[in-house]
Structures are given as C-alpha cells and as structure tokens.
Structure 1
Amino acid sequence: MYQDSKNITLPTDPETIVWKYLDLSKFLDLLLSNKLFMSRSDKFEDQYEGTFSEPTFEEIKKISKNNPDFLHYYKQKRKNIVISSWHINEYESFAMWQIFTKNNEGIAIQSTVDRLQKALHVEQRVDQYIGEVNYIDYKKEFIPFEDQFFPFLFKRKSFQYEKEIRIITDVTPLNIEVNEGIKIHVDVEQLIEKIYIHPKSENWYKNLVLELMQKLNFKFDVEKSDLESDILI
C-alpha cells in the first residue's frame, strides 16, 4: 500500500505528469499480470545507485567506528530495496524514447503522481513510497540519512536529464531472495492514463497495440507519438 513519508519529497501538484518508457513485452506483462516490476536497487546500470556521497560516507565512517554493523546494514539494504523509475515531464521525451526502447518499437505510459499513488493501494504485502530524486555533487554535497530510503533518492548531477520520480519499496518483510527484482500488485486501470506508441514505429505496430488492447478489454487512449508528426511548410 502507498504510504506518505515526511522525509520524502514529491511534486506539490498531484496532477504532475509522469512517464514510463518500456518495450511491448514488458508492457504486456504489466497488463496480463496486473503487477509492476520493481528492479533491485543494486542491479541498476549506475554503480553509485544506493551509495553515499563522500561527505556522507565520512560521517558514516565515524558512526561505524563504535558500531561496525551500521555500514554492513546499509550494504545489505541495497539487496532488499526495489525501485520503479518514472520520468517527470509535461511532454514526452525524445531522449527517453532513445534510452529505454529499441528498434523503433516501444510504449510510453502517461500517468500522474496522483494516479501512481492510487494504483499502489492494491498491494497489501509491503508498503510503497514515492519520491522525487535529488541530483547532487557526490564529492561535495551531504546526503541526510534521517530516512531509511535516503541513499536511494539521490543521484549524481550527470543524471539530471532523467528528471526521475521513484516508487520505492523495502521487501525485507517478505523474507524472500530478490534476484533481479520483484513484481508488486497495481491497479492497471488507475495507473495508466494514456499510451503513446514509439514515434518511429510503423503503422502495423500501432494497429497491433490497438488489437491487443481490444482483446484484453482495456480501453486506454492509444496515441502515436507526435514527435514524428508531419512538417508544416
């Protein structure tokens, strides 16, 4: 179930638009299972994911002198924190299409912060939190650690283009071994506001997506990305 946290920041407007870019197979898995895949935090491509900035690490080393288990606890924590990443943007992003889809095929889910929050209430096993990622200088800036999720809501400034908002969960209570990640229950109808088709996809691809929606009895609005609309002269 979605929970608020005073230490995790969100956009002030609940109608803030968010996006998730993914391939068709992952999109179909979401629709068929009514479950959202959450990646294990230490499996992300960025090796700094879930680690500390240099000033924070120096502070934690001081604490760890008298409590050696403190640092070990956070190293182990990375294996049980799972994350679903979304992109904050009023409009679709050409860069996100390029990064997260291949072969001129793929889907973009358009949603809002409010929809994300409501869609998570069907998952009762563990709590989920939503937070906006902070982009900082890891050599100079301190990451506060009042919150259990503190290292997972900070990234290096070189990733600012992602404008990321995260669904984040600690699956420790489930007492399971997390490999690449886990799936959590979501209300798909609530999660998805609109679907966009890859801007460079062929017409057959959009027709395929429309046919799949019809067979699965989903009535989402399906749009072809307008990044490749006709040039007006």
Structure 2
Amino acid sequence: MHVNSPDIKLSDNDQLVVWKYLDLSKFLDMLLSQKLFMSRSDKFEDQYEGTFSEPTFEEIKKIAANNPKFLDYYKSHREKVVVSSWHANEYESFAMWQIFTKNNEGLAIQSTIGRLKKALIVEKHFEQYIGEVNYIDYKKEYIPFEDTFFPFLFKRKSFQYEREIRIISDVSHSQMSINEGLKIDVIINELIEKIYIHPKSENWYKNLVVQMVKKLGYEIAIEKSDLESDILI
C-alpha cells in the first residue's frame, strides 16, 4: 500500500481534519461490513471527472493522431479508477450538510489524514493512494498525464468549496469487474474519530444512531451538530 506518493500532493499534517457526510444507510453498511465504499470515477455527477483540461487534450490529440489506442485507453481507464472523497475542514460545513444529506437526517464522520492512513488495510491486488484535489481553470491550465492518477486529482475551480481529499486506487491490473464501485477493508475505529448527527435532526434520531453504534460493538464519540445550537441574546 502506498498511502501517498512523491508525485501526489498531500499535506504533511497528519492532524488535518477531514469529513465524510453520508446518509444513515451508507453509514450502517460501513459499520456492518467494516468496509469503505469507493465509487467508480466515471459515476460521479461531475462529467469532467477524470477528463483533461483543454490544453492537455490538445496535446493528447496530437499523440493519438498516430496512435488511436492512446485516447481509447484514457476513456476506458475511468472505469478502472475508484475514489473515496473526503472534505478537508477544521470545522463542520453547513454547505456539505446541505449537499450530501437529505430530510434533516444523515451524519458526518470526522477523521484526520493520519487516521485515514492507519485505517487502510493493504489490498493484495491494487495500491491505495491519498491525495489532495487541485482546482484549476480547464480552459487554460495544463494537467500532466505522465502519471495515470493525475486526471483524477484535478477538478474545475467551481468545485473549490469541496476542498477534497481522495483515497484513490487503480484496479486495471487486478482483472476486477466493478459496477458502481467497490468496497475496501478498513479499520473502523481508526477511520472514525467522531460522529456528528445532522443539525436539524430530532433527538430520537440521535438516540437511534447512538444505540446502533453501541449494539454493533463500537465505542465512537457521537455528538449532535452544533450548527443549530440555541441563540444567545
């Protein structure tokens, strides 16, 4: 396992706080399976995911003129790269609650870069990397393509608010067939430092999460988000 690579940008600060916002069913699936879901890169809503900026594409087209398979490789490669997305932020994010949870339910996993590194269990058939996403102008800026991971570590500037950290793997050499994505083994107690319950959720919902986590044998701190705490006047 390579949790980071000299070519992939990642903060040296293992205490950097990262978050994953998700609904209760996905969270429960994670606890029961002790696995982290990684989505296939071409299944994200952003259609630019894993593609190239215009300057890079112009260069690739020149190479592909004499080697058509070169471009085909990059198109099909998106189906073999899987990603788990995390949000880097010292504090919880109101915007992330809005985007990734619904109906005043859902929760946020708080972790750190260091915890992500320790939580990943070595996979036999592919390597794992952790990297920061770079936000660029796709019309003007160049994305290097010497490394096959690079297209998956760049996004358009309009997504800058995501401040995304990615766990990323390429399963091309594993002969694995993946549909929506795949699940990787993780150490749950390392992965999760704390759980925050949706700020607009009711008390019964928090109690449900507390009981569920306890019955599954995990000792994880659980708090209600303080974004909706009482106004002091």
- TM-score normalised by structure 1 residue count: 0.97
**Secondary structure at 1:121 match in 2:** coil
Instruction: Please give the alpha-carbon distance, in whole angstroms, between the structure 2 residues aligned to 1:15 and 1:147.
Output: 28
Letter in 2 for 1:135: Y
Q: SS at the partner of 2:217?
A: coil
Deviates more, 1:119-128 or 1:210-219: 119-128
Identity %: 73
Match for residue 148 of structure 2?
148
Give the equivalent residue in structure 1 for 2:131. Answer: 131
CA shift, 1:14, in A, is 1.1
Aligned AA (2:159): F
> Structure 1: which 5+ runs fail to align?
none
The one-letter code of the counterpart of 2:42 is D
User: How far does residue 175 in structure 1 lie from its aligned partner after superposition?
Assistant: 1.1
Distance in 2 (CA, whole Å) between partners of 1:158 and 1:218 is 38
Aligned to 2:190: 190
Query: What's 1:92 paired with?
Result: 92
Question: Within 2, Cα distance between the matches of 1:134 and 1:224?
Answer: 32
Counterpart of 1:189, as a letter, is N
- Given that 1:2 and 1:121 are in contact with CA atoms closer than 8 Å, whether structure 2 keeps it comes out as no
Structure 2 unaligned runs (5+)?
A: none
Structure 2 partner of 1:46: 46
Aligned-residue offset at 1:144: 1.1
Q: Matched residues in 1 for 2:185 and 2:123: separation?
A: 5
* 1:110-129 Cα distance to aligned partner (Å, 9 max, x none): 00001111111343332111
- The alpha-carbon deviation at position 2 of structure 1 amounts to 3.9
1:146 and 1:94 map into 2 onto residues whose CA distance is: 37
Distance 1:156 1:185 in 2: 31
Alignment correspondent of 1:161:
161
Please give the alpha-carbon distance, in whole angstroms, between the structure 1 residues aligned to 2:95 and 2:205. Answer: 21
The letter for the 1-side match of 2:120 is: L
Cross-structure match for 2:6: 6
Alpha-carbon distance between aligned partners in 2 of 1:29 and 1:122, rounded to the nearest angstrom: 21
RMSD after superposition: 1.0
Is 1:211 the counterpart of 2:211 in the alignment? yes
Give the drift of 1:213. Answer: 1.2
Displacement of 1:174 = 2.6
2:4 and 2:131 in contact (8 A); partners too: no
Which residue pairs with 1:223 in the alignment? 223
Cα distance in 2 between the residues matched to 1:2 and 1:109? 23
User: In structure 1, how many angstroms separate the alpha carbons of the residues matched to 2:61 and 2:50?
Assistant: 16
Please identify, of 87-96 and 68-77, the stretch whose mean Cα deviation from structure 2 is larger.
68-77
Query: Which residue of 1 is the match for residue 79 of structure 2?
Result: 79
Structure 1 partner of 2:180: 180
1:31 aligned onto 2:31 = yes
State the SS of the aligned residue for 2:79. coil
Q: Name the residue aligned to 2:200.
A: 200
Aligned AA for 2:173? P
Q: 3-state DSSP class of the match of 1:63?
A: helix
Q: Per the alignment, in what secondary structure is the counterpart of residue 179 of structure 2?
A: coil
Q: How many angstroms apart in 2 are the aligned matches of 1:122 and 1:176?
A: 16
Structure 1: distance between partners of 2:171 and 2:36: 14
Do the aligned residues in 2 keep the contact of 1:122 with 1:187 (CA within 8 Å)?
Answer: no
1:151, distance to aligned residue in structure 2 (A): 0.5
State TM-score, norm by structure 2: 0.97
Q: Secondary structure at the match of 2:98?
A: helix
> What's the counterpart of residue 232 of structure 1?
232
SS at match of 1:108: strand
Contact 1:54 1:140 in 2 (8 A): yes
SS in 2 for 1:78: helix
* Counterpart for residue 111 of structure 1: 111
